Structures are given as C-alpha cells and as structure tokens.
Chain A
Amino acid sequence: MLEYAWLIPVLPFVAFLLIALLPKRTLLWEDGGLYAIVCALGAFALSMGVIWGVIVSEDLPYESEEYTWLIIGDIEIPFGIYIDELTAVMLLVISVVGTLVVIYSGGYMHEEGLGRRRYYAEIMLFISVMYGLVLASNYLMMFIFWELVGLCSYLLIGFWYEKPSASSAAKRAFIVTRVGDIMFMAGIIILFIYVDDLRFTALFGAGGVAAVPTDMLILSTALIFGGAIGKSAQFPLHEWLPDAMEGPATVSALIHAATMVKAGVYLTARSYPLLLQTPESLLFVAIIGGVTALIAATVALAATDIKRVLAYSTISQLGYMILALGVGGYLVNDLGSADGYSAACLHLMNHGFFKALLFLCAGSVIHAVGTNDMNLMGGLRKYMPITSLTMLIGALAISGIPPFSGFWSKDEILAAVFEAGEVNWIFTLLWIMGFVTAFMTAFYMFRMWFLTFAGKPRSAYHAHESPKIMTIPLMILAGLAVISGFALFIGEGFTEFIAGSIGLEGHGSAVDIASDIFTDPLTYMSLGIAVVGILFAYRVYYMPGFDRSVFAKGVPGAFHRALENRWYISQFYDDFAYKIWYGFSLLADKFDRYVIDGIVNGIAYLGSNSGGVLRKAQSGNVQRYAGLIVVGLILLLLFVLYIAPWARGL
C-alpha cells in the first residue's frame, strides 16, 4: 500500500485543477464542491490504506525516491516519499478532518455564491500541499510545501478580502509566519553546508550529522524549531493565529486548528533525531511550549469572540505539544522513555479531532446567529440541540475529563513533564505552568459553552439547527473526540507504535499503561483541577447571583483589561511596526530619495548641465572656429617639437 502514497497529494491537486480550470457550468453541485468531496474522499481512502500499511509494515521508515528534482554538481535533491509512524498520525488527522471539513463546507459555504469556486479550489490546494508536507522525504521538499501551506492559509484567511480586517489579518499571518520560515530555511542551510544531503534517511541515520560542529548543530536545530514557532503560533510569534479567525470557520477548523498549525509540531517531532543531540535546543523548545500554553490560556479567559477563544485555546494546546516534545527529548536521553514524544503525538491527533469539532460547532453557531460575539448569544441549546451537545463533548475533551480523548493525552503530557522534573528543576516550573493552564482551559471552555448555549438569549436572533450536511460531520468528529484517546490502549499501545519512529520502544501492555495512569496521584490532581475549572465557570457564568462587575474594578479589573488587550503583545507589535519600524522605513525612504536618487539624478544633471555650458562653444561664428583650429595647431606643434622630445629624454 505504501507505494501508492504519492497519489494522496495528487488527488486533491487534481480537484484543485478541475475546480480552478473547468468552465463554470461543468462545476456541478455547489460550484465545485462535488469534485472537492470526491477527491477528498479518495485521498482519505488512500490515506487509510497507507496507515494500515504502516501498522502492518515491518520495515519502517519507508522511503521511495520517485523523482530527482534538481542536480547541482554532485548534489542531488530528490522528490520522494518518507513514511513512518509519525507520518501515519498526521495523515490520519489531515484525511479525517480534511474530508469532514470539505463535506461540512457544502452547507456552511452554501450562501457564498461565486466565491465557492475560489474557496473549494484553495481548500483542495491546501489539502494537497498539506499531504505533501507530511509525506516529504527531505527538508527542502518539506520547506517547499511548508511555504505552500502558508500561501493557502493566506488566501483562505483573506477569503472575504473585501473586508479590510480580513485582508490585513491575511497579510499579518503571512508576514509573521514568514519570520519563522526564514529561520527554518537558515536552519536547513546550516545543515546543508556541512552535510550536502537533506534526506531524512541520511540525516537521521547513525552519524548522519557527525560532520556538523556541535554549536552549529545547536543553532541549526534551534532555527528549525524557529520555523515551528512561526507556523504553530508559539510565543512570541503567536499573535497571527487569533487574527486568522477572520477566515471562514471551516478554514479555521481545518488550517488553523487541525492541520497547518500542527505542521510546526510535526516539524519538531520529525527533527527529533537531530534535537536529541542538542539538549540546549530541547530546553528552549520546552520553555517556549510551556510559556505559550500559559499565556495563550490566560488571554482566552477574557476573549468574547467565540472563535478567538478557540484560537487562543489552540495556541495553548499547541504549547502543550511543544512542551511535551521538548521535555520528551530529555526523557529519551536520560531515561530512555518515549513518554513525552508519544504524549505530544497523541495530543496532536486528539486535538486535531476535538478542536476541529469545536471550530465546526462554532461555525454552526455563527451560521445560525450571524455574529461571533458571545455576548450576543446565550440560550442556543434549545434551538441547536445537536451543535450544543457536540460542542459540549468537544469542551469536555479539551478540558481533560475522562473518558474523552483530551484527558488521556493531556494527562500523559503533564505526567511526562512532571517526570522530567527529576532531570531539571525548570521542568517542575513548566509542570506548574501546564497544571495552571489545565485549570484555565477547563474554565474558559465552559465559560464559552455557558455563554453560548446556556441561559437566555441576549439578542434577537433567529437561530435554527444547521442542515444535516453540517451536523453529520459534527457527530462523526464528536465520536472521534470520545474515542480517539483510546488509541493509547489499542494493540500494543500508542506509545509503542509512535516510539518506533524515533527507534525506541514503548513500555508495557495496555493494562500496564492504564494502571500507570490510574494509580498516579497526578492523574487525579489534573482531573480535579479540570473539574474545579468547570465548576468555577458554572458558578460565574451559569448560576444566577454572581456579580461579574468585579472583573471591571481594581486589581481583577486591571488584570482583565490586560487580558482583553492580549497582554498588549499585539499592540506592542503594532507599535513596533508603526513607530520604530515605520521610522526606520522613513529613514530608508529618505536615504533612497536623497542619496540613491541623488546619485542617479546627479549624474543626469552633470551631463545635462555640462552640455548646457559646453554648447555655448558652438557659436556659429566660423572665424572663432578657425581661430581655435590655429590655437590647436600651435599647441600641437609645440607638443611635437618641444614637449614630446623633452619627455622622451626624461
């Protein structure tokens, strides 16, 4: 099955070409939606085949080099396919969420008219290049797809480009992630300088990066992780993701929750064999992840836009994954355990399902109410029973309530971080941050749910349940949000499966893992804190009699304002851009206008002015010309007769 993997990105690309190029009347249902769904389902089926191939295959990683793209001297850059267990996890998320989102779009985008064609073409291009990104067999190929997903993200955030906020959010997303992309590229270039071969099989094998000096390897891995900071919206480059919510909710669900933002996590996990050799970079990874998880969760506490709550929650959950990856490296190096790595990958998969579910639910709500502002919702449970129930499942999953999927992976992450506290005290600190984040996650998710679905309507809306084409994907995702955590126990366990991609083995059977989880007091602590968070949200946002005006006064008020202003980070970037950077740009403009243009114009003026002066010599007076000829003749004679012989005698 694995040899057909190259078809997976090709199918959605064919859909992209068909939708973009066919005449309008041949687009059939929903202006191309039919082609999109058919090709997405085809890619889904192929992905399932490949995943099955990975599960049964004895010989991983599978690599095939289909095509040599570039030959520079002795260096060959191939386009190939690289498949291991990590690829399989990503393929599962992309194919499931991608297909469901395309189906859901059939209802959600129904009213967009002609824009649907552009929408379906772009979203199929995105799915295609996202598959390409995870199947890439070398860093350069990965980077190309990495840039292409960024392009698709830009196009789809700016789908409603006539809205100024949408087009500026698109530009912001593109430019901010570009900062990370450049770091990623620099990291690749450092590797390329020393190794001449960017294939994963070559780099990750024994001694693959032996030629790279240690400090350059640290720099390189840190820079490659810099790409992940941009793409996965980690602190301090996280502010583009909440703005990216200007796009349609389907785009947020697919690109900005389930797949593209996971590319950074995937890149970090993919580079694990390199990162394991540079513990300094791993520490950096862990700290960035922990800080991001905490900061983003705090901002989500005060957001009133339903999609922004989810966006900050996405950033926070991505922070968890990055934290687990950073910590997991220490666990691999010092304890030989793949727990952190496996927890990150499991959370990557679980989060892909429940966050896509939450976004699609939010889309369903927005579709019904016509606003993103939770202050104008309330009481929707009566009108939208399916959406409210599926969103409740999503909220329970992300809050970490068993048996929903988020519980298993989040608990594994926190356990791994706590375990690593033995290695370095910083990890204990990060564990506390993760623990607090778990509380806040439960709180803000249920704050959102209560504000949206519970209580009484706070504005006059005419809500109705969404059509079946939207609710069925919600139900499927809700089902996955319930069960995907049990992957931990299937067969020899998820840890055993995923550890294969970094050449380790998991520990114990499903029973051992379960008894590990349920005998650990930490499990009950993190479960307890989540329940406390939910009860707290229930008290504040559901039970009558709580005076929420305390959030507007005194110290809580100041805190609340800071949160509403996203810790002023966004404002800082704006100030930086508008004041400092704009000032610098003005300076550059002056330099260009006066120095560069001055030189160019000066040369032109010199020519024209000296011409103006010299043309006076053309008096038209023949006798003056004759006189000058005589003077010239005399000078020539003097030269020939006296100066030249004298000069020759020197």
Chain B
Amino acid sequence: MIPIEYWLVFSSLLFLVGVYGVLTKRNAIVVLMSIEVMLNAANINLVAFSSYHDALHGSSDATGQVFALFSIAVAAAEVAVGLAIILSVYRRYRTIDVDQINILRW
C-alpha cells in the first residue's frame, strides 16, 4: 500500500498549483480552473484519509468518499455559477481580464 504521506504531499502540491494559478493568471476562466484544481486537492485528501481509516482505526468508514462525491457535485454547481458570472461580466465589460475588473475599490 502506498504510504499516506505520498497522497498528502501530492494533494499539497496540487493545492499549491491551484493557488499559484488563482494568484497569477489574468484570465478569469483559468482562475476558475485553478480553483477547481484546489478543490480536487482537497478531494484527494478526503479519499486518502477515508481509505486509510481501517489501517489507522481498525474499522472502515466511507464518510470521506461520500464527502468527495458531494464536493464534486458542489464544484460542478460552482463552476456553472462562476461561468455564468464570467459570461455576464464579459457582456458588460468586453473583457474577462481580472486585472481590469476592479471597480469595487476605494
């Protein structure tokens, strides 16, 4: 069995990739994609802890896997809302560059 640390390091790296994308990319769609990557990093953590539950506590528990499924469903909904927002922002400003969309300021 692959040690749990491998999964954790992997999900951390995936999360950091997502953070990097959110902070640096100027295209709002890419930012949204990066957020999805961060969500999936969290899902990997949930699934990993769930499958190692038996080894750690002597009993199996599927809560983590169920949570991952929920999370995927929520992420799908979130993407739908996010894309809709981006679409209407594009209609209003003719751009989806997040650096340009900054009217909510002082």
Contact = CB atoms under 8 A, between A and B. Distances in A.
Interface of A: 615-616, 618-623, 626-627, 630
Given A621-B98, A622-B98, A627 B23 contact: yes
Nearest to A618: B106
A621 B22 contact: no
> Taking chain B's interface residues, is the majority helix, strand, or loop, or is none over half, making it mixed?
loop
A323 to B, nearest CB: 80
Given A621-B98, A621-B99, A626 B104 contact: no
Contacts of A621: 98-99, 102, 105
B23 A619 contact: no
Contacts of A615: 106
Given A626-B22, A630-B19, A620 B98 contact: no
Interface string B1-44: 00000000000000000010011100000010000000000000
Contact of A623 (B22, B104, B105, B106): B22
Contacts of A626: 22-23
Contacts of B99: 621, 623
Interface of B: 19, 22-24, 31, 98-99, 101-106
A620 B102 contact: yes
Contacts of B22: 623, 626
B105 to A, nearest CB: 3
Contacts of B102: 619-622
Contact of A619 (B24, B31, B105): B105
11 contacts: A616-B106, A619-B102, A619-B105, A620-B103, A620-B105, A621-B99, A621-B105, A622-B101, A623-B22, A623-B23, A623-B98
Nearest to B99: A621
Nearest to B25: A623
B23 A630 contact: yes
A647 B103 CA distance: 43
A125 B41 CA distance: 93
Given A619-B106, A620-B101, A626-B23, 20 more contacts: A615-B106, A616-B106, A618-B105, A619-B105, A620-B102, A620-B103, A620-B105, A620-B106, A621-B99, A621-B102, A621-B105, A622-B98, A622-B102, A623-B24, A623-B31, A623-B98, A623-B99, A627-B23, A630-B19, A630-B23
A617 to B, nearest CB: 8
Contacts of B101: 620, 622
